[in-house]
Each structure stands twice: as C-alpha cells, then as structure tokens.
Structure 1
Amino acid sequence: MRIPNWTKPKRGTEPRNFLKVLVDPQEANIDIVAVHGLNPLDKPSHAEATWTAGDKLWLKDFLPEKLPTARVLLFGYNSNVAFQTATSGVREQAENLLNRLEGARTALFHSNNDRTYKSIAESTFGIAFFGTPHRGGNNAEIGGVVANIARSLLGNPSNTFMSAVKEGTFLDLIEDDFRQLLESFQILTFYETKPMGRLGIVVDQNSAILGLPGTREKQIALDKDHRNICKFSSHDDPEYQQVADNIASMVYSAIRARASSEPIHIEAKGNTSSCSGSENSTWQAGFGNKSQTIGDANKTRQFGHGNESENFGDGNKTIQVSGGVFEIRDYIDLLRYFNH
C-alpha cells in the first residue's frame, strides 16, 4: 500500500479520512504521525490547518531541519462526526488510523490491546500532546473542558456538538482505556498559558497533564493560547524551538532504545585485508579474517572467531571481538570508540 504525498487540496475536494506523507526522507529511521483535534465547524483542510501558521506547516517546512531522518505523516478524520456519534465514532476513527498505519507498514501512535495491531503498539515509543484535556480542570468535568474547547472554536453555545461532548460519559471511557496503555509510552505534554478572551485558558495545566512520574511525562508550558498552541510561523520562534527540541530528544531516545534491543547477526566470512598509508579504516565481520596495516593512525575492526591483525606504525587502533552474534549496543560502543 502506497501512502500519497501531501499536496494542498483544492477547496471542496478535501478527503475526510486519509493518511498522507508530509516528509519522506530516503533513509527514514522513525515515523511521526500528526493527529488533529476537534473540528466542530467542519472546516476544510482542518488536518493541515491545525499545524499551519500563515503558509507554514511546521511539520513539513521546519521539522526536517531538526530531524532529517524522520518520516512525517498526517492523519485526517472527521472529528465532528466522531464525537457526535459518541464512543463508537471515536473508536471507529482510532481503528481507521490503526488500519491505515498497519496497511502502509508504518508503525507509530495509538493502539488498543487488539493483537491485530500489536506491532504498532510495540513500535510506539512516545506521544506528544498539545493542549489535550485528559481530565477536568478548575473544578470542571472533562466533558465541560471539551465543551469549552468547542466554544473557543464555535462561539455558539447552542451548537449540538457542544451539547453532546459536554455530557462527557464517553470521554471518561476513552480516557480510562488510554490510561491502561500509559506504561508503554514516554509522554510530552505541551499546555497553554495564554487566555482566549473571556473564555480564559481553555485547557489549563491541571486538565492537560497526565500526572505521570517525571521520567515518564515531561510537562512543558508554551506561551500560546489554545487556538495557536501547535501553530508556528517561523523556525526562529522560541516556542517552536522548544517544541522541536523536545520532540527531537524523544526521537533520539526512541532510536537508542530500539538500537539497544535489536541484535545484529553477522555472517561468517574469511576476509583478507592489506593496506598501507595513513588514516585507513578496515572493518571485517565473520570468521578467519586477516588484516595487515602499515602506516599511522589506522583503524582495524574485526568481529568473529580466529581473526588476525598486524599493525605497523604509530597511533593505530585494533579491536577484535569473538562471537557470531553481537548486541547492537556493543556495536555502537565500538563505533564510538573508533570515532574518538
């Protein structure tokens, strides 16, 4: 299954449900999936507009500078219908996302305990929330907080969408399901600190945070109101830089965690290498390798059994490891040694 690359759609032609690639580097080593929030006004291109200030969609225009090997995907869905149809609608959209991710053989974001999507759940390292209510705030129930979000978008207290979400029963059920999965993820929580006129702060800190231990959840205040909490018009914006730095830190942690858990299997080969000069680098994997280097500041790496190495000169480095299978974390340590 091929995921389409993103191009700005013509007005009136926007699909309701999709998974699009915003950034697709040739050597991607991690996926980032962006999921928008409420759209009670049924605005076109809401999935893109959520992350856009002016004509800058920071996930596409700025983030690749920070994370050049991250594939960035955008998920779009009809959140208006999802919430109006209560629990079933929200779950259907979650299943829609999982199905599209699974079908495209990408692996990130949200999963329930269904074995069908087990690989997606296991491949998910962290989640970043922007002004997302996880519980009531300022003595309000979570349904009231979500209704307040609808007010900030609608300005219409009689809207049926707002009346539906204010009941909040299905929101509590969704939140309960999610909390059962929290032990598996690292969390970034970005919350707003600027009020929106008479509405004040729409999702306050108490509502936005999950309250996990510091090592599991990083809570970050942004000088933004709810409407603009994930919109950045410039990569020089200090708020964007704070967001990008924290996302990058999570990405690097995810890559390190994956590297430390995956073994590398080395096939048996009998290589022979001979080089002369300075600053040469020799790397041999397998069994019965032979290496001879003549000169200064050469590096030799050999993995396997029965290796032989001869060095002549000054400042040479040789490392030999016996074994057929090596943990990749050990391999990374070896590379770090040689890079020094």
Structure 2
Amino acid sequence: MPMSDLFRFSNPIASGPRQGPTEASYAPNPHRIGQNFLKTLVDPSNANIDIVAVHGLNPLNKQSHAEDTWTSEGHLWLSEFLPKRVPQARICLFGYNSNVAFGSSAAGVREQGENILNHLEQIRADNPYRPLMFICHSLGGLIIKRALVHAKADATYNKIWRSTFGLVFFATPQQGGNHTGFGDVLASIARCVSRSPANTFMAALKGNSTFLSTITDDFRQMLEDFQILSFYETRPLGSLGIVVDRKSALLGLPGTRERQIPIDADHRGICKFASSEDPRYRLVEDNIAQMVMNVTSPASHQRGNDEEELSDDAGNTSHITGEDNAINQAGHTNESITNGNGNRTDQFGHRNKCQVDGMSNTTTQVSLEATGVLLLGLKLILDRWAASGKDIT
C-alpha cells in the first residue's frame, strides 16, 4: 500500500456496542502506590488489535494518574467513546513510576521501557502478533520510543516491535523547541504538572536531557516501520505559556509519514475530552480510527486468511498474519514478514528479505542478479528431462 494512502479518510470503522471496563489485568495494588501495571479497560471477545495508552510525568506519584491523564469531567474516553468506533480493539493503560523514570539516572527510562515490554509479552502470550498501537501523552512517548528501540534489538521482545504499526503522540517532546533546548522543554513539563518540583528532581531531569534526546535519535532509525500521529498544543497554560511547542512536538517527517495535527488545548488538556461530540475529540478519533482501518483492512496489510497481495515496485513491505495467505512481490529491496501457517511468499528481484514464523510456509526468492545461475540450472533440468525420454508436458 502506498504511503500516500495511509491517512486517506473513507468508510469510518463501523460502530459497535459500548464496551465497559473489565477486571484489570496486572491491576494496581492500592497498597503499593506508583508500581508498574498494565490495566485492561476494554477486552471484546473479537479483539484483533491492541491499543495501549501511556501517561506522562507524574511527580506527585498519584495512583490515579494513569486514568486521570485521559479523563475529563469523569469521562475516560479510552473506555467510553473510542470502543464505539473501534469495537474490535482491546484497550489498556500502562501505569509506571515517572519519578523513577525521569527523576533519577538514565537507567530509569530503560527500566520502565523494559517493564512495559514485559507486561505486554505476558498479556499478549496467546496472540503475540496481534497489531499493536501506542497512545502517549508528553514524556510517556519517550518511554515507548525507548521500549521499541529495545524491542527491535532484543529477541525476547522482537515480536512486539514487529507487531507495532501505529504511534499516537500528544504533546510529546521530540526535540528542543523554538529558542529553547530539550532540557528546557523537560523543565517546563515538570513545572506544568507540579508548580514547585523538587530541585533534585529538576536537576536530574535536566541532567538526563542529553540521554533523553538520544532516544529520539535512535528511534529515527526505525521511523519507517510505523504510522505516526503527532498532536500538538496551541493554547498557553497560564504563565507557563505553550509547554511543548509545535517545533518540539513534531518529528518533522516529510510527506505522509507523520500526520501533524494541532489541538485547541493546553498541555494538560490536549488528551482530555468530556464528550464524544467535542470537535477536538472527533478529530482525534477520526485519525485513530483511520489508522486502525489501515492495518486491519485486507487491502493494506494481510491479516486475514486466503488473501493475496500482488506488488510490482521497489521497496515493497508486507506483513502477513494468519493462515493460507499468499503474497507476490516484484522489484527490488522487498521485505516480507510472515506469521502463521501455510502461507506462501514469492519475491522476484534482488536484495529481498523474508522472515517466516510458523509451520508449512513456502518462500520463493528469485534474484535478478543471479539470472545466469538460474538459466544454467534450468538448462540442466531440461537436459536431464530430454535424456530421460519423458514428455515434460
């Protein structure tokens, strides 16, 4: 599917019955404030996609912050509104101790990234290749970027990286802002959530700014793997002004690789919606729903059964999940990832890559750079057939 089609708006995902919160998976223990947890908000029986929301800085270490981040006037849109538009999504919240993540050494971010990977590996054990989307507010985006960099390099969590298709950032600092460095942006975020953050916390946060900035640098090496939505704030937050400005909130990717969308809200309110009729929420929901459609539609990614995709171009990428699928790629520098049983992949070109997980899969790779060898092999086969006196038809 061409990248230009990734965000084409058409045929919104069918609505379904409202899904109420289910009993939490890895639910937080009220006696251990600030521990890590992955809480399931919505878990439909026909789930075919996972959505995980990750909060930002929480210097007061409030247990409810994981939900409060996405709640306005008692309405948690992730469980009340979004399931009506994407009824096939399992929706979860990740909670973590941001004081450990951002207020100590750089190892804190790595640790929290590994924590979410561990939780996801457990909850997705029965379906490790289910498509995965992350929705992040503020510094929560840095946790996820670090986690994905780790997942790509670590065989234990590689399936999580391969399954991730979408990233939604709400006011996540990707770089320094206008006339401000990355460390200054981080300090503004800390002041936003706590009017008088401890000096030690501020010092640690600014001291880690170089490391946090390199997370984005490492992450840029894998940006082509994902669809990205970047929402940025346009209202000042009192005397603090715009906390994460447009320049800081955007990765700055060309074309359709990053959809850049302003939200009429400040840093705190950018991901809070009290009504499903709020125009700001409609904008967010439409974009998320389109992203989900892109990955669940057979026309864009093979995730069903008995489907066939034909590609004839350079740099084709295909991800297949299911059984008895078929894909043909012609061109060069193609990549195919197949998960399931009984699938067939044919690649014609050169510099092709194919990864197959499952049983009874078939892969055929024909390199244009090896044409002479292939012709020689074909000639030998024909010669043997002729010598046998058998009818080759």
Give, in whole Å, the separation in 2 of the partners of 1:7 and 1:55: 23
* 2:295 aligned residue (242, 254, 279): 254
Q: Give the conservation status (yes or no) of the 8 Å contact 1:47–1:74.
A: yes
Deviations 1:280-307 (A, max 9, x none): xxxxxx9xxxxxxxxxxxxxxxxxxxxx
How much does 1:183 deviate?
1.6
* 1:156 aligned residue (186, 196, 203): 196
Letter in 2 for 1:128: V
How much does 1:6 deviate?
7.0
1:145 aligns to 2:190 (yes or no): no
How much does 1:151 deviate?
0.6
1:210 aligns to 2:251 (yes or no): yes
Q: 2:216: which partner in 1?
A: 175
Give, in whole Å, the separation in 1 of the partners of 2:115 and 2:43: 22
Give the 3 Å change call, closer, same or farther, for CA 172–62 of structure 1 in structure 2: same
Give, in whole Å, the separation in 1 of the partners of 2:110 and 2:202: 19
Q: 1:225: which partner in 2?
A: 266
Q: 1:18: which partner in 2?
A: 37
Aligned length: 269
Give, in whole Å, the separation in 2 of the partners of 1:88 and 1:101: 20
How much does 1:4 deviate?
5.0
Give the 3 Å change call, closer, same or farther, for CA 97–11 of structure 1 in structure 2: closer
Letter in 1 for 2:116: L
1:38 aligns to 2:60 (yes or no): no
Q: 1:274: which partner in 2?
A: none
Q: 1:73: which partner in 2?
A: 92
Deviations 1:250-298 (A, max 9, x none): 00011126864357359xxxxxxxxxxxxxxxxxxx9xxxxxxxxxxxx
How much does 1:99 deviate?
1.0
Secondary structure (helix, strand or coil) at the match of 1:261 reads coil
How much does 1:163 deviate?
2.1
Letter in 1 for 2:211: F
Q: 2:327: which partner in 1?
A: none
Give the 3 Å change call, closer, same or farther, for CA 198–257 of structure 1 in structure 2: farther
1:196 aligns to 2:215 (yes or no): no
Letter in 1 for 2:181: E
1:104 aligns to 2:123 (yes or no): yes
Give, in whole Å, the separation in 1 of the partners of 2:26 and 2:78: 14
* 2:168 aligned residue (128, 137, 147): 128
Q: Give the conservation status (yes or no) of the 8 Å contact 1:264–1:326.
A: no
How much does 1:198 deviate?
1.1
Q: Give the conservation status (yes or no) of the 8 Å contact 1:5–1:20.
A: yes
Give the 3 Å change call, closer, same or farther, for CA 15–81 of structure 1 in structure 2: closer
Give, in whole Å, the separation in 1 of the partners of 2:53 and 2:299: 21
Q: Give the conservation status (yes or no) of the 8 Å contact 1:147–1:166.
A: yes
Q: Give the conservation status (yes or no) of the 8 Å contact 2:33–2:63.
A: yes
Q: TM-score, normalised by structure 2?
A: 0.63
Q: Give the conservation status (yes or no) of the 8 Å contact 2:72–2:272.
A: yes
Deviations 1:89-131 (A, max 9, x none): 1011101101111122255355222121111111111100001
Give the 3 Å change call, closer, same or farther, for CA 126–17 of structure 1 in structure 2: same
* 1:84 aligned residue (96, 100, 103): 103
Give, in whole Å, the separation in 1 of the partners of 2:299 and 2:90: 16
Q: 1:238: which partner in 2?
A: 279
Give, in whole Å, the separation in 1 of the partners of 2:49 and 2:299: 10
Deviations 1:25-72 (A, max 9, x none): 110111101011111122221111111112111000111111111110
Looking at CA atoms only, which structure, 1 or 2, has the larger radius of gyration?
A: 1
Letter in 2 for 1:66: R
Q: Give the conservation status (yes or no) of the 8 Å contact 1:263–1:326.
A: no
Letter in 2 for 1:119: K
Give, in whole Å, the separation in 1 of the partners of 2:250 and 2:266: 16
Give, in whole Å, the separation in 2 of the partners of 1:38 and 1:257: 38
Letter in 2 for 1:171: L
How much does 1:178 deviate?
1.8
Q: Give the conservation status (yes or no) of the 8 Å contact 1:52–1:58.
A: yes
Secondary structure (helix, strand or coil) at the match of 1:181 reads helix
Give the 3 Å change call, closer, same or farther, for CA 326–56 of structure 1 in structure 2: same
Secondary structure (helix, strand or coil) at the match of 1:178 reads helix
Bigger mean CA offset, 80-89 vs 142-151: 80-89
Secondary structure (helix, strand or coil) at the match of 2:35 reads coil
Secondary structure (helix, strand or coil) at the match of 1:95 reads helix
Q: Give the conservation status (yes or no) of the 8 Å contact 2:117–2:157.
A: yes
Give, in whole Å, the separation in 2 of the partners of 1:140 and 1:253: 36
Letter in 2 for 1:165: L
Q: Give the conservation status (yes or no) of the 8 Å contact 2:294–2:300.
A: no
Secondary structure (helix, strand or coil) at the match of 1:226 reads coil
Give the 3 Å change call, closer, same or farther, for CA 82–238 of structure 1 in structure 2: same
